Chain A
Amino acid sequence: MIRFARTALVLFAFALAAPADAALQDENADLTEKLEIGISSDEIAITSDFRGADLTIFGAVDGFDQGLLAQGRYNIIVTLEGPKDNATVRKKERVFGIWVNTSSMTFELVPESYSLSSTRDIETIAPPGEMGNMGIGVDHMRLVPLGFVGDGSNLGEFRNAFRRIRETSGVYERDPGGVQFISASLFKASVRLPANVPNGVHVVRAYLFRDGVFVAAKALPLRVVKTGLEQFITQAAHQQPLFYGLVAVLLAVVTGWGASLIFRKE
């Protein structure tokens, strides 16, 4: 179902690209670039010594224009988007001398992690309006407030605070040089999964721009899963919570008792 939805999304992105292509039809009738990407594995396993991972994505542009490519007028953006969840931004204010959370805003379904790589700074790839429409980049990410926000005058400050905090904590990253052409039409991009990466389905997206105009996109799912013992523990905690709690207490009893037995001999 998710895979189907994603395919639909990709098709939708192609459909979006169609009018842009149409505008250029009279110049170059047979110019329809296609984008293909591939990752070595569609699953990342979190082991007990997981410290984050660098992911290399390979891709190819088909049907490119030799001249435009030579002039460096093709640009590629690759993003790795984590699972989405609601996020609440709280603001503190001084009340009777102490700092108290006085206002908050919840943004609907924002990615838990976001790593972006591009051929150059994304602000120079396409006009901000276009990036905003497509929601590419931390600055253009859609941040839709949940519920009543009053007159919306403080929307901007909460959005900025959200972006700043996520970037300084390292879960939102950008690398404006992370995509490199390794041959005429082959490129490689590196994106990063942070150490505190959320589990679930991440999405790798690649976007192709020609002269500041969006041409094609491609998306691939990437599952981040816990393995072995980590997986077993998580499952137990959620499916057998009472039993899990009892085991946790039992473990504490045995540890505490064991220690006092060992130390008694001395």
Chain B
Amino acid sequence: MTIYLPIAELSVNILIILGMGAAVGFLSGMFGVGGGFLITPLLMFYNIPPVVAVATGANQVVASSISGAITHFRRGTIDIKLGTVLLCGGLAGATVGVWLFSLLRRLGQLDLVISLLYVVLLGTVGGLMLWESIAAMRKAAKNQATTLRRPGQHNWVHGLPLKVRFKKSKIYLSVIPVIGLGFCIGILTSVMGVGGGFIMVPAMIYLLRIPTNVVVGTSLFQIIFVSAYTVIVQASTNYTVDIVLAFVLMIAGVIGAQYGVRVGQKLRGEQLRALLALLVLAVGIRLAIELVIPPKDIYSVVSAGFGF
């Protein structure tokens, strides 16, 4: 069963797109990540032009994070105040990112920079998370306390000024690192076409020491707005948002996300983190291999209309 994508200008098998959307939606609901770091490479692998994949992936992320965020909102696991502060940084970062995106595209090195960023970020984040969660699981096995927040153990982040009390998260924290984190992830959103949850979640846990249960909902909350902003910017500058492709992905994605959230609730925090770490590492390794092994064809052709 094929469907024609008016913006990507090609026919695709609707079942494959539905499958991709459902699988990515499930994982995004489970881990509280937007799924952009999975959907964008998957679409490109399925011959969707990269610029369309990046913009349309962001649109799908909006739907799946809304669906996930509403579920978290009902459970009371979103810190709106913290999310709003993150969002301020995120929108500023996304604006800078759009500018950076077009600069790299002109230089013809956008795909290399994207791959390198993915490998470095996914590798670091995945490795650190895996290490930490395995240590936590070992402790749990020995019946020791597994609190992530060790009272009295503060890092440099907690010495910064402009402190604000975030009631829901039960933390008293400076807004500077929160805005800074939002800003950095905003840049990544426009350059890499990801929501940034896979970096946001661990950074909030390990750097800002925010409780894991609030982290997932709050990151989804801010991803909604940053990716919605990215979609509008991409649509008005590059005309690359394929609404048909996005809609098919969304339908499958939101359904998958609902089941993902349920499975995620059943797993323990450290198990969830270990699984997310493995997933992040797997994507990172896959991309690293692509950079290192000799390509099937050292030449590639891009037409003026599409491509990096």
Contacts and interface: CB of A to CB of B under 8 A. Distances in A.
Contacts of A237: 6-7, 235, 239, 241, 243
Interface string A232-265: 0110011001101111110111011111100110
B144 interface: no
A78 B75 CA distance: 66
B120 to A, nearest CB: 12
A87 B300 CA distance: 10
Interface of A: 46-52, 85-94, 97-101, 104, 112, 158, 161-162, 164-166, 195-196, 198-199, 226, 229-231, 233-234, 237-238, 241-242, 244-249, 251-253, 255-260, 263-264
Interface residues of B, number: 59
B134 interface: no
13 contacts: A46-B4, A49-B11, A87-B304, A90-B301, A91-B299, A94-B294, A161-B297, A165-B301, A198-B9, A248-B59, A248-B241, A251-B243, A255-B247
Contacts of A246: 232
Given A238-B239, A245-B231, A251 B254 contact: no
Contacts of B285: none
A162 B65 CA distance: 41
A252 B11 CA distance: 22
Contact of B250 (A47, A112, A256): A256
Interface in B42-84: 47, 59-60, 62-67, 70-71, 74
B246 A252 contact: yes
Contacts of B59: 248-249, 251-252
Interface of B: 2-4, 6-7, 9-11, 47, 59-60, 62-67, 70-71, 74, 108-109, 111-112, 116, 228, 231-237, 239, 241, 243-244, 246-247, 250-251, 254-255, 257-258, 291-292, 294-295, 297-305, 307
Given A237-B241, A252-B62, 5 more contacts: A233-B6, A234-B7, A244-B241, A255-B247, A263-B258
Contacts of A241: 235-237, 239
A93 to B, nearest CB: 7
